[in-house]
Structure 1
């Protein structure tokens, strides 16, 4: 098993493409965080896979094609480390997947730094794993959404980007994603952007 620890600002890491990936978010089980995923399609459509609703978006445990699946809400534990898992089977219609850690208002005081939120991406039989922790987070109890990294689906590899982006203080709006081409007359390399606070507002839970 090869494990790579990434932090914000690191160059992207390429993993071997395998039939399936696992995105695992862990945190101290003294709080009740939630993991969900944003899925960006090659046609620009965005889907959310989550165990809870947002305004105008129902709770869905998988994408319509079943390629991205949430394995269920774990809730709050007595001690140790809690985790939630999303399984990803990449296909040509998926451009990128972004796992998001969410701390609902009803969880009470807490912060991503204090509860040691970490994203691990594992490509299974290839034996490669990438970990991105929220080490640059502050102890602000009113920052509710954390995006540690992005999984980009390219033709030849799976590329992991360490983002560590956070929502505005007090914002309950989900991130969203978009892509396009920059440069003169829209030529040049394709760009993918995670836009914090621009998605639907999470339901209070």
Structure 2
């Protein structure tokens, strides 16, 4: 198992047919996992069990390649885990799992509830864990992006990001592709733009 923290160099894993993303937190709260899917043609899809403004809930992408395995509410089991299954195909450029805490579900910080992202590439047996260890105790920060799964022709690259929304924002993150640079002319970098996506619809307990 590889443990990653914000600022670590990306880790390359063997490219397998599928990658599983599991996000865990204390079951004393009711967070939700959603995924941002960036296609090679630049299009973006959201996989989530709840709506955003102009974006209906969908438990999988249109081609079924990225699937949410179901919402998990509050409970007494100690830890709640929601899962995204990613079947890699040539149209997928990157997938970004996001932990979200709605205003209408109450407050509670990502630090307090120990949000953790676990990624594995199945039969290859590689596992990466990214914990939200740099989160502060602000109860009004509602979105957390621990990391990103980037698909390349030869490997799956895991980036430890640990990015957070602005205080009080319920807008989803989005993704942008940046081109060029002084050191890597013509190269492309995928950037997570916090609060740049549609606003999540308020959910009620």
Identify whether the pair has TM-score above 0.5, normalized to the shorter chain. yes
TM-score normalized with structure 2 length: 0.96
Identify the match of residue 10 of structure 2 among 6, 9, 12. Answer: 12
Deviation at 1:187, TM superposition (A): 4.2
Written as runs of structure 1 = structure 2, the 5 A alignment for 1:156-195 is: 156-183=154-181, 187-195=185-193
Tell me the equivalent position of 1:29. Answer: 27
Provide the aligned length of Structure 1 versus Structure 2: 202
Deviation at 1:78, TM superposition (A): 1.9
Deviation at 1:183, TM superposition (A): 3.2
Root mean square deviation of aligned Cα: 1.1
Tell me the equivalent position of 1:198. Answer: 196
CA distance in 2, matches of 1:58, 1:169: 24
Deviates more, 1:161-170 or 1:14-23: 14-23
Contact (CA 8 Å) 1:173, 1:201: kept in 2 or not? yes
TM-score normalized with structure 1 length: 0.96
Tell me the equivalent position of 2:121. Answer: 123
CA distance in 2, matches of 1:118, 1:104: 18
CA distance in 2, matches of 1:141, 1:128: 34
Gaps of 5+ in 2: none
Deviation at 1:178, TM superposition (A): 1.3
Contact (CA 8 Å) 1:9, 1:163: kept in 2 or not? yes
Please identify runs of 4+ aligned residues in structure 1 that moved more than 6 A.
none
Tell me the equivalent position of 1:73. Answer: 71
Deviates more, 1:10-19 or 1:102-111: 102-111
Contact (CA 8 Å) 1:30, 1:79: kept in 2 or not? no
